[in-house]
A and B are shown apart, each in its own frame.
Chain A
């Protein structure tokens, strides 16, 4: 592995050739160039980096990814839809917006594309694009900025409640190994309320890469729920970086539901930039085979009187592995911070593994920070109790695994979405049950 990582030929290979993209406005050219340089300097994160200890990205350096241009015209499948839910659907195919396949949300929610932006919209892109995802964060963020083919902006103006969820369907389409760089901006005005779903889907048995980057800005007093449903193909790599910036008195909740992909890393960075805000981060991963899912969260308590609450759960079958890293930074002056972090994993096979690590950096004295993690097999006594009442072994296990997932799903705000996710999880748990234990 070390050998591969010192071979740097992949660095250029993963960058677009000069002719690939239109140059765009000057500020964009400058940001892209900065990102190129950062990528060439940093490259793929290595295991020697504390933040990437448990996730080996070297397969990405080995794969030759083809261009995705040919696939853009392809009509996407129905994967990523939310069955039984009336949702606006914004379809991205390999990072490009697909008009025909999309169902636009009703006004006043606005959709804009960087490639076709009018002057007023261009200003929003210029103000927001990349201001959270600084190229210095890690090489993969920079790689997205250097490569994205377009940026989709969803703008929810101030003071409105969007009743139905907004579903951004992020499709990966191709026949050869390819790399896609979806890039999304969510701008939620003050005192608004919305649920945004990000549904990732792609072909099975193909070693493609989705390297997505979503930057979210939430205005004063808003309520925002962000649900990510990651169902990439069975051989896919998924690097998802979500940056969320919260103004004051915001209630923010996220759910990261992971069931697809072979090599998955979710970076979630939430900045509590105004006082009185609350961030609840939930996660549920269900893995089998040789899947690896790494959830890496960073809560930046930049202001006082904010609360963060993290609950990440994993169900691991086969030889799959999981990682949870919960970084909490309490900056000087962020008094009355209340941060709670919990990671729980059920190992459904003796060969599944889980690593959890809290990383606390606290520079204020009047704060409450707690963390805890438990990893282990299903409870033998519970299993026996259910079987002693007549439930078959598999039925008893399914009952316990759904119970394990239940509290994470129960937190989802939208009732219809919650029910749909519960169904999805039950189906998924059957997949895990079929796995060798």
Chain B
């Protein structure tokens, strides 16, 4: 059974179609990358998968490990193992990072019938994960993303991913705005999540990320459709030639 199976997904906002029939299947263990010009619908796809209700789904189906994803609330999707690293993580003044992460982790654990982590075990887990991402534990007492630099916000997304340990991670331009050291660290975090029963969907504009997280498949999204799919060499080709040479939509995958 695929981790993620998207069939003919159509979605948009009030009267405007953005996704025009997206098809994509991620089998266990696979890493897929989605590239495409600005405004082609990459973030829309990511947000629709996470359950953002600003977007209206007008057709198609999505299954996560066989479960009908479109029927689930955002929190159910998260608990069922879907994780979205946001392109623009929002600041939440007044909520400390540790309070938030502990609540999130315990919500997911509760969903799976596991006992809540106490403060000690939680802190131990955090220290371990933060070390992996070269993050200072002082972030824990700061409000979620408040006053974080662009790179710190992205790192915080990966920290959350590492703590919540999802089945499917969708990373929306997590590489944008990272310097090369941060990119290496973030890629390390993502690679450590790679495993035979997980899937990863990377949204990126840059081939350089794919040097660190080598994808099994690369797709090009344009005007709300996947117009081309290939292996990692497609990304190199896009880097060299841009998107212009890609023509009419073709059936894929």
List residues of B (70-109) whose CB comes within 8 Å of A's CBs.
Answer: 73-75, 77-79, 84, 86, 89-90, 92-95, 100, 103-105, 107-108
Q: Is the CB of B92 within 8 A of A389?
A: no
User: Known contacts being A399-B100, A399-B103, is A390 close to B75, with CB within 8 Å?
Assistant: yes
CA distance A388 to B90 in the complex (A): 12
Return the chain B residue nearest A384 by Cβ.
B52
Taking CB atoms, residues of chain B closer than 8 Å to A390 are 75, 78-79, 104-105, 107-108, 111, 164
| Min CB–CB distance A19 → chain B (angstroms) | 55
| Min CB–CB distance A121 → chain B (angstroms) | 46
Taking CB atoms, residues of chain B closer than 8 Å to A387 are 51, 73-75, 78
Taking CB atoms, residues of chain A closer than 8 Å to B95 are 399-400, 403
Q: How large, as a class, is the contact surface on chain A?
A: 20 to 34
Return the chain A residue nearest B78 by Cβ.
A390
CA distance A389 to B53 in the complex (A): 15
Taking CB atoms, residues of chain B closer than 8 Å to A396 are 75
A382 in the interface (beta carbon within 8 A) = yes
Taking CB atoms, residues of chain A closer than 8 Å to B89 are 385
B50 in the interface (beta carbon within 8 A) = yes
Return the chain B residue nearest A405 by Cβ.
B94
| Min CB–CB distance A296 → chain B (angstroms) | 27
Q: Is the CB of A382 within 8 A of B92?
A: yes
CA distance A124 to B132 in the complex (A): 68
| Min CB–CB distance A305 → chain B (angstroms) | 31
B204 in the interface (beta carbon within 8 A) = no
List residues of A (368-395) whose CB comes within 8 Å of B's CBs.
Answer: 379-382, 384-393, 395
B225 in the interface (beta carbon within 8 A) = no
Partner of B160, one of A380, A389, A391, A407: A389
CA distance A406 to B90 in the complex (A): 19
Return the chain A residue nearest B84 by Cβ.
A388
Partner of B94, one of A380, A381, A389, A403: A403
Q: Is the CB of B93 within 8 A of A395?
A: no
Which residue, of B77, B89, B107, B164, has the highest number of chain A Cβ atoms within 10 A? B107
User: Known contacts being A381-B90, A393-B75, A407-B94, is A386 close to B108, with CB within 8 Å?
Assistant: no
Taking CB atoms, residues of chain A closer than 8 Å to B103 are 391, 395, 399
A191 in the interface (beta carbon within 8 A) = no
Interface string of B142-159 (1 = CB under 8 A from A): 010000000000000000
Partner of B107, one of A382, A385, A392: A392
A217 in the interface (beta carbon within 8 A) = no
Q: Is the CB of B164 within 8 A of A403?
A: no
CA distance A389 to B95 in the complex (A): 14
Return the chain A residue nearest B91 by Cβ.
A382
CA distance A396 to B74 in the complex (A): 12
User: Known contacts being A384-B74, A387-B73, A389-B78, is A403 close to B50, with CB within 8 Å?
Assistant: no
Q: Is the CB of B94 within 8 A of A402?
A: yes
CA distance A402 to B93 in the complex (A): 11
Taking CB atoms, residues of chain B closer than 8 Å to A388 are 50-51, 74-75, 77-78, 84, 86
User: Known contacts being A387-B78, A390-B79, is A403 close to B93, with CB within 8 Å?
Assistant: yes
| Min CB–CB distance A179 → chain B (angstroms) | 40
If A379-B90, A389-B104, A399-B100 are given as contacts, then 19 extra A-B residue pairs at C-beta distance below 8 Å, sorted by A number, are A384-B52, A384-B74, A385-B86, A385-B89, A386-B92, A386-B100, A387-B73, A387-B75, A388-B78, A388-B84, A389-B100, A390-B78, A390-B79, A390-B104, A390-B107, A391-B75, A392-B107, A400-B92, A404-B94
B contact residues vs A (CB 8 Å cutoff): 50-54, 73-75, 77-79, 84, 86, 89-90, 92-95, 100, 103-105, 107-108, 111, 143, 160, 164
Q: Which 6 A-B pairs have the closest CB atoms?
A: A403-B94, A389-B104, A390-B78, A390-B107, A387-B74, A406-B94
